[in-house]
Chain A
Amino acid sequence: MNIASSCDVAVVGAGAAGLAAAAECARRGLSTVVFDEQQAAGGQIYRAITATPLKDRTVLGADYWHGEGLVGEFARAGATHVPGATVWAVTRSDDGFEIGVSHDGVAQLVQAKQVILATGALERPFPIPGWTLPGVMTAGAAQLLLKTSGLVPEGRVVLAGTGPLLYLVAAQLARVGGRIDCLLDTTPRGQWRSAAPYAVDFLRSPYLAKGLSILRDARRATRLVGGVQQLEALGGDSLQRVRFVAGGRSEELPVDLLLLHQGVVPNINLSNAIGCAQRWDEAQLAFVPVVDRWGASSVAGVTIAGDGAGIAGARAAEARGRLAGLHTVHMLGRLDAAARDRAAAPVRTELARFTRGRAFVDAMYRPAEAFRIPAGETIVCRCEEVTAQQVIDTVKLGCTGPNQMKSFLRCGMGPCQGRLCGLTVTELIARERQAPPGEVGHYRLRFPVKPITLGELAALPETDEGIKAVVRIGKAH
């Protein structure tokens, strides 16, 4: 497919936020292009919504099928959707931005006046001993296999962790006849007490009813073990057993598949590499970009929407996508401030409705420190196989933050570019130094934020200055 070389707005990500943002922009006459890595629209929450083999809608539930309407709205709005496209760079250019995109094995540079990042979330790292063994996956991965391919785990299956998605996956798997041996709940006992201050909002939110029914389905589906304080995956070449400690007692289970989940965190690699300011959010225990009420980041022309700007779920992401879209249309002069604000008013009401109750969820399912900050030989960086002890040892050498540590250990230099180790490393160093995570900081990302081939890079346009910087005939050394 030939990608147009320029557009008014480039949207990165075709999930809830990206689809909504693009629809708002395209509907008002902006040339809008949405780039997404997946083969079809929907992001992760609405993954495979146009092609899922699960025709019985009660399996995935109404929340999932809401996405169908959104995808339809997007399809009618007049934006261009480029699936299978990986955005690896966003740099400033004279007219706005130059987007580096890789599609079908070819890298191209696309010009855009404004950029909306809707890169969504990824699962929080869950570094337990043995988490790299084949047979250990995220609970989200199992859910994706169900949505995209109608595959259901069989054999001895254990879920472990905390957070609404974990119980949702248990419920969904049970609905299709999947057998789950047990669900090991790592939510610290008594944590509901720290969530209590937010309970009122939660009771008034759309999440209460959903939450209760999911928990009920999850309880019916399997044996629930609460207050799990230690967890290990054991095996040689692949997962064979799970060992856990709950209520002071240790137990071992033979297992074929271990599904881990302890919440989701914003995917910030692209915004970080662009230079958008970010801050540590202590409630969400993650770095989030700094944005205003429209999603505008600290880099003029770059707006961030959805879970990539802070976790709040699919409906909130959709609302924030609309706000980002309206803001972008306004920034390009096609909507005055008053009209923008009028259009935004009902969206803000939606947003308030769907962010109410999130504080309770964040507090209730706050992952325990023991599962966020590993020790000893537990692998922290999966790509480069760097252990927790190795990271701690560099702090003793005087490393004050993840970037110096990265240069000493290669931790964070693999293809995932810190997506699965960044938060763990920040918190490890923070605890070792007794300093706040926000001060310790995060890896500094550079382009490409996703790998591209040398051949693709070589085929990009060269410039005279670029050539002069590299080919130095007659110069000393």
Chain B
Amino acid sequence: MFKRLPEAGPTVPVTIDGRQFAARAGDSVAATLFAAGVKACRTTPVSGAARGPFCMMGVCFDCLVTIDGRPNQQGCLVPVREGMRIESQSGARIAVDAPPGQP
């Protein structure tokens, strides 16, 4: 889907849904996903439809991913860091765990 031009630069190891990936230092998380061939990063809480980054400038909120365990981060605004854990999301986030038997 996207290829990298040769002048890329140093890399930074991150994981994407558990998979190791060599991200480019200075890239945003959203750019990293594209570089890794990932188009969809979440499913919506409203209908479960798949979504991926759309505007790359912090306006559309479709690039939401879980970063180092924190859900709903705008991937296009967060630069990658060594060892960062990037995870796609499914539906609404969990804030308080409801015990079984409760909704």
Contact between chain A and chain B defined by CB under 8 Å: yes
Question: A residues within 8 Å of B by Cβ?
Answer: 37-39, 44, 51, 53-55, 84, 122-123, 132-138, 140-141, 144-145, 148-155, 176, 237-239, 256-257, 267, 382-385, 414-416, 419-420, 450
Q: Are A53 and B9 in contact (CB under 8 A)?
A: yes
Interface assignment of B40: CB less than 8 Å from any CB of chain A: yes
**A interface SS class:** loop
Chain A residues within 8 Å of B55, by CB: 122-123, 137-138, 140-141
Knowing A145-B31, A148-B31, A238-B39 are in contact, say whether A137-B53 is a contact too (CB < 8 A): yes
Complex-state Cα separation, A44 to B55, whole angstroms: 11
A145-B54 CB under 8 A given contacts A237-B40, A383-B61: no
When distances are taken between beta carbons in the complex, the residues of chain A under 8 Å from B24 are 53, 149-150
A153 contacts which chain B residues (CB < 8 A)?
A: 1-2
- What are some 29 contacts across the A-B interface (CB < 8 A)? A44-B57, A53-B7, A53-B9, A53-B24, A122-B55, A122-B57, A123-B55, A132-B49, A134-B50, A137-B52, A137-B53, A137-B55, A140-B56, A141-B56, A145-B34, A148-B28, A149-B24, A149-B31, A150-B8, A152-B4, A153-B1, A154-B2, A238-B39, A238-B40, A384-B46, A416-B59, A416-B60, A420-B59, A450-B58
Q: Provide the residues of chain B in CB contact with A140, threshold 8 Å.
A: 55-57
| Contact residue among B9, B47, B54, B57 (Cβ-Cβ distance under 8 Å from A136) | B54
User: B7 near A151 (CB under 8 angstroms)?
Assistant: no
Closest B residue to A135 by beta carbon equals: B39
**Beta-carbon contact of B1 and A154 below 8 Å:** yes
Q: Which residues of A contact B46 (CB under 8 A)?
A: 383-385
Which residue on A lies nearest to B50, using beta carbons?
A237
Question: Do B79 and A382 touch (CB < 8 A)?
Answer: no
List chain A residues, Cβ under 8 A from B16: none
Name the residue of chain A whose CB is nearest to the CB of B52: A134
Assuming the contacts A154-B2, A238-B50, asked whether A53 and B8 have C-beta atoms less than 8 A apart, the reply is yes
CB atoms of A151 and B54 under 8 A apart: no
The 6 closest A-B CB pairs, nearest first, are A134-B52, A134-B40, A141-B56, A150-B5, A134-B39, A415-B61
Closest chain B residue to A260, Cβ basis: B54
Q: Which residue of B lies closest to A51 (CB)?
A: B26
Q: In the complex the two chains form, what is the Cα distance from A39 to B4 in whole Å?
A: 21
Q: Is the CB of A135 within 8 A of B52?
A: yes
By the criterion CB–CB under 8 Å, are A151 and B39 in contact?
no
**Interface status of B87 (Cβ within 8 A of chain A):** no
Residues of chain A lying within 8 A (CB to CB) of residue B27: 148-149
Tell which of A150, A155, A382 has the most Cβ of chain B within 10 Å: A150
Residues of A within 8 A of B7 (CB): 53-55, 150
List residues of chain A with CB within 8 A of the CB of B1: 135, 153-155, 256-257
Would you give the shortest CB distance from B40 to chain A, in whole angstroms? Answer: 4
Contact B3 A154 (CB under 8 A): yes
**Candidate in A55, A257, A415 with the most chain B CB atoms within 10 angstroms:** A415
Most chain B CB within 10 A, of A123, A133, A145, A155, is at A145
Q: A122: which B residues are within 8 A, CB to CB?
A: 55, 57, 59
> Beyond A150-B5, A155-B1, is A416–B57 a contact (Cβ under 8 Å)?
no
Kindly state whether residue B12 has any CB partner on chain A within 8 Å: no
Contacts of B59 in A (CB 8 A): 122, 267, 416, 419-420
List 18 additional contacts besides A134-B51, A238-B40, A415-B61; criterion CB under 8 Å: A37-B58, A38-B77, A51-B26, A122-B55, A122-B57, A132-B49, A135-B1, A137-B54, A149-B4, A149-B27, A150-B24, A154-B2, A237-B40, A238-B39, A238-B52, A384-B46, A414-B61, A419-B60
Residues of A with C-beta under 8 A to B40: 134, 237-238
Give min CB distance, A233 to chain B, whole Å.
12
Given A134-B39, A134-B50, A145-B31: A151 touches B57 (CB 8 Å cut-off): no
Please indicate the chain B residues that have their CB under 8 angstroms from the CB of A39 in the complex: 79
Produce 1/0 per residue, B59-71, CB < 8 A to A.
1111000000000
Q: Tell me, in angstroms, the Cα distance from A145 to B5 when the chains sit together.
A: 11
B49 and A53 contact, CB distance less than 8 A: no
CA distance A257 to B57 in the complex (A): 18
Separation of A33 and B57 alpha carbons in the complex (Å): 22
Query: Could you tell me if B39 and A149 are in contact, using CB atoms closer than 8 angstroms?
Result: no
Q: How far is the CB of B52 from chain A (nearest CB, A)?
A: 4
